[in-house]
Chain A
Amino acid sequence: MARRRSRRPGSMWRSTLLACLALGAASAVAQDARKSGFAYMGPDTQAMQKDDLANPGMLSALDGEALWNAPAGASGKSCASCHGDATASMKGVAARYPAYEATHNAPVDLAGRINLCREGNQQAPALPRESREAIGLATYIGQQSRGLSIAPPDDPRLTPFHEQGKALYTQRMGQLNFSCAQCHDENAGGHLGAAPIPQAHPTGYPLYRLEWQATGSLQRRFRNCMAGVRAEPYSYGSPEFIALELYLMDRAKGMAVETPAVRP
C-alpha cells in the first residue's frame, strides 16, 4: 500500500516545529522522521511526564530503589552489594537490552536479566513478570539511562533474533488480520478512532499508562496491541516478545530513553 499522507497538515507542521525547537537542531529532525510516542500526546500528559513530582511512574522507580538496596534470598545480599550505586553502575544498561546471554544461547530482556541475578546471585525466587517488584526494579534501572541514546549491542549472535523480531513485526495476525507494521509504519500519525497511532518506539518503558492505572512493561503494551487485533498474545518473557523487543530497540537506535514515561 502506498504510504498515505496525514490529512492534518496543520497539526503535523506544528508538532514538527515543536520538535525542532525542543532539539534546537532543525537539520537533525529533517534527517530523522522518528518520533517518540511522547510527540503524539496531548499537552497535559506531556506535562505529567516531564514533571517528576507529577509523574506516577516515579513511584515505581522509588519502589525499585528500595529493592535495589534490600538484602534478599539465601545470599543475604542486595543488588547494591554487588553493583554498588545504581546511578553509576546502571547508567546506560537499559539502553542496550535485550542482550545476548551465553548460558541461554539466546537474548534476555532486562526483566529476564534481573531474574538471573535474583536466582543465581541472590539465591532468591524470580520476581513474577509485571509484579510491583519486577516493574519497580526495571523502572529504577531504566531511569539510570534517562536521556541516553538507545544503543543496541553490536553483537552478530543477535542477528537471527533481530530477523525473527522483524518477521513478527510484519506478520499479519488475529481475527482482524493486522501486522504491527501496518499500524505503526504505514499508518503512524493517523487516528484509530480517538487514538493517534504512534510509531511504536520502546523509549519510555516501563511507563505509567493512565489506562492501566499502573506502571507496566513494553511486553504488556505488546499484549494490548495483540488483543486489539483479536490475536492470542504471546506470553511475558517468551522468545517471540524478546525478539520483538530486540527489533524495536534496533529500530529506535539513537533515540533517547525516557523511562519512566507517561502514556494515555
Chain B
Amino acid sequence: MRALVMFLAFLPGAASAQALAPYVIEHGEIRASLTGKAGDPARGRAIVGERQKGLCLLCHSGPFPEERFQGDLAPTLNGVGARMSEGEIRLRMVDGGKVNPQTIMPAYYRVDGLTRVAPALRGKPVLNAQEIEDVVAYLLTLKDGGAPGRMK
C-alpha cells in the first residue's frame, strides 16, 4: 500500500500537483477560508501590487500610487470591499468563471479543464490557498473610492 502511494506520487503530473483545498460554493459565495484562518492583508497587498505574482494590475486599477501603469480591462479594485462580501470575493479569486463563464479574469485557484499549460506549471494553481486568503483579506480593506462596475 505504501509502495503504491509512493508510485502514484511519481506519476507524471502527480509529482508537481498540489492538492487543492476543498471548498463549497453556496449562494454565489465561498464562505469558509481555504486555510481555515484569516489571511494577512499586508501580504495580500504585496501580491496584488506585484506584476509577476498577482498580475492584477495588468487588468485592474487600484489604490497603488507607486504603480504607474495599471490596466483598464476590468472594474477598479477601489471600493471592492464595500461592494462585495468576503465570500463573493473569495469565489471571484478561486474561479471567476463560476460566476461569469466568459470572464477574462484567470481562475487563481484551479488546475483542471485548462489547455496546454506550460509544463512547469501543470497541476499548480496561480496562487496557493494562503495567498488567496491574503488577497481576500486585503481586498476587504478596500472600502471606499471608485464607482462600482466596469471601468472600461
Interface residues of A (CB under 8 A from B): 1, 4-8, 171-178, 182-183, 186-187, 190-194, 226-227, 230-232
B72 cross-chain contacts in A, Cβ below 8 A: 6-8, 190-191
| Contact of B114 with A177 in the complex, beta carbons under 8 Å | yes
B55 cross-chain contacts in A, Cβ below 8 A: 176
Report whether over half of chain A's contact residues are helix, strand or loop; otherwise say mixed: loop
Taking the complex as formed, is B16 at the interface, i.e. its CB lies under 8 A from any CB of chain A? no
User: Interface residue tally of chain B, by bracket?
Assistant: 20 to 34
In angstroms, Cα B152 to Cα A8, docked, is 8
Which residue of B71, B103, B106, B107 contacts A190 across the interface (Cβ within 8 Å)? B71
| Contact of B114 with A174 in the complex, beta carbons under 8 Å | yes
In angstroms, Cα B116 to Cα A176, docked, is 11
| Contact of A193 with B117 in the complex, beta carbons under 8 Å | no
Which residues in chain B, 94-152, are within 8 Å of chain A measured between CB atoms? 97, 100, 102-104, 106-107, 114-119, 121, 124, 126, 150-152
| Contact of A175 with B106 in the complex, beta carbons under 8 Å | yes
In angstroms, Cα B103 to Cα A7, docked, is 19
In angstroms, Cα B115 to Cα A230, docked, is 10
In angstroms, Cα B58 to Cα A191, docked, is 8
| Contact of A177 with B152 in the complex, beta carbons under 8 Å | no
A–B pairs, 5, beta carbons within 8 Å: A176-B106, A177-B106, A192-B73, A226-B116, A231-B117
Report whether over half of chain B's contact residues are helix, strand or loop; otherwise say mixed: loop
| Contact of A194 with B117 in the complex, beta carbons under 8 Å | no
Interface residues of B (CB under 8 A from A): 51, 55, 57-59, 68-73, 97, 100, 102-104, 106-107, 114-119, 121, 124, 126, 150-152
In angstroms, Cα B151 to Cα A175, docked, is 25
The verdict on A7 contacting B106 (CB below 8 Å), with A173-B116, A192-B59, A192-B73 known, is no
A7 cross-chain contacts in B, Cβ below 8 A: 72, 151-152
Chain A residue at minimum C-beta to C-beta distance from B113? A177
Which residue of B69, B97, B126, B150 contacts A175 across the interface (Cβ within 8 Å)? B126
Chain B residue at minimum C-beta to C-beta distance from A178? B104
| Contact of B71 with A176 in the complex, beta carbons under 8 Å | no
B115 cross-chain contacts in A, Cβ below 8 A: 171-174, 177, 231
In angstroms, Cα B68 to Cα A16, docked, is 26
A182 cross-chain contacts in B, Cβ below 8 A: 104
The verdict on A230 contacting B73 (CB below 8 Å), with A4-B150, A7-B152, A192-B59 known, is no
Which residue of A172, A177, A191 contacts B71 across the interface (Cβ within 8 Å)? A191
Closest beta carbon of chain A to B130's beta carbon, Å: 18
Chain A residue at minimum C-beta to C-beta distance from B151? A7
Which residue of A4, A177, A193, A231 contacts B118 across the interface (Cβ within 8 Å)? A231
The verdict on A176 contacting B69 (CB below 8 Å), with A7-B152, A231-B117, A232-B119 known, is no
| Contact of A174 with B71 in the complex, beta carbons under 8 Å | no
| Contact of A194 with B151 in the complex, beta carbons under 8 Å | no
| Contact of A230 with B117 in the complex, beta carbons under 8 Å | yes
A232 cross-chain contacts in B, Cβ below 8 A: 116-119
Query: Which of A8, A171, A176 has the most chain B CB atoms closer than 10 A to its own CB?
Result: A176
Closest beta carbon of chain B to A10's beta carbon, Å: 14
